[in-house]
């Protein structure tokens, strides 16, 4: 027997509300995980970009020197990390370059170790530079 004849049931049952809340809860948890991963990737990308910019700056400082002497040197980074540069003359450079007696080809290598959270990341750059010999 219906209390209100002609009217259907209105509203939701407790079971329907619980199912809807479970679905919404799963969606919120999934969105929070996606945002968390995005933030971590953004932080990592920022650290790698900063390390690349620092290594390019150090390499530019090395290459801007008027005289490149063979050997190695190192230094520390402000954000925690260090770098090491190695400069060496290439002995058997390509004969087709025909450098003559006043020029030599130098290889400049830079290795950086930067702190990335609880890890250390290694970045290595190498390039060649044509330099005037100190004593031709």
CA atoms within 13 A on the CB side of 7: 6
Average pLDDT of 32-50?
88
Does residue 78 sit within a domain? Answer: yes
Does residue 116 sit within a domain? Answer: yes
Which residue range is the domain that position 95 belongs to? 14-132
Closest CA to 128 of 46, 68, 39: 68
Share of the chain above pLDDT 90, in %: 39
Does residue 35 sit within a domain? Answer: yes
Does residue 63 sit within a domain? Answer: yes
Does residue 4 sit within a domain? Answer: no
Domain total of the chain: 1
pLDDT confidence band for 114 (50 / 70 / 90): confident
pTM: 0.66
pLDDT for 136: 52
pLDDT confidence band for 1 (50 / 70 / 90): very low
Give CA separation, 88 vs 13, 47, 97, in Å.
80, 30, 18
Does residue 9 sit within a domain? Answer: no
Does residue 1 sit within a domain? Answer: no
Q: What is the pLDDT of residues 67-93, one digit of tens each?
A: 888 899 999 987 778 999 999 988 765
Does residue 6 sit within a domain? Answer: no
Query: Is the pLDDT reported for residue 95 higher than 70?
Result: no
Query: Is the pLDDT reported for residue 121 higher than 90?
Result: no
């Amino acid at each position: 027997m219906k209390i209100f004849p002609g009217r259907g049931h209105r509203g939701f049952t407790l079971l329907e509300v619980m199912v809807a809340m479970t679905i919404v809860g799963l969606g919120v948890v999934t969105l929070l995980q996606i945002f968390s991963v995005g933030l971590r990737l953004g932080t990592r990308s920022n650290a790698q970009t900063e390390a690349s910019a620092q290594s390019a700056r150090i390499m530019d400082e090395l290459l801007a020197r008027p005289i490149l002497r063979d050997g190695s040197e190192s230094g520390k980074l402000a954000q925690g990390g260090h770098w090491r540069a190695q400069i060496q003359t290439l002995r058997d450079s390509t004969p087709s370059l025909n450098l003559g007696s006043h020029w030599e080809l130098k290889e400049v290598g830079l290795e950086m170790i930067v702190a990335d959270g609880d890890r250390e990341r290694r970045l290595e750059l190498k390039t060649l530079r044509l330099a005037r010999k100190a004593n031709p």
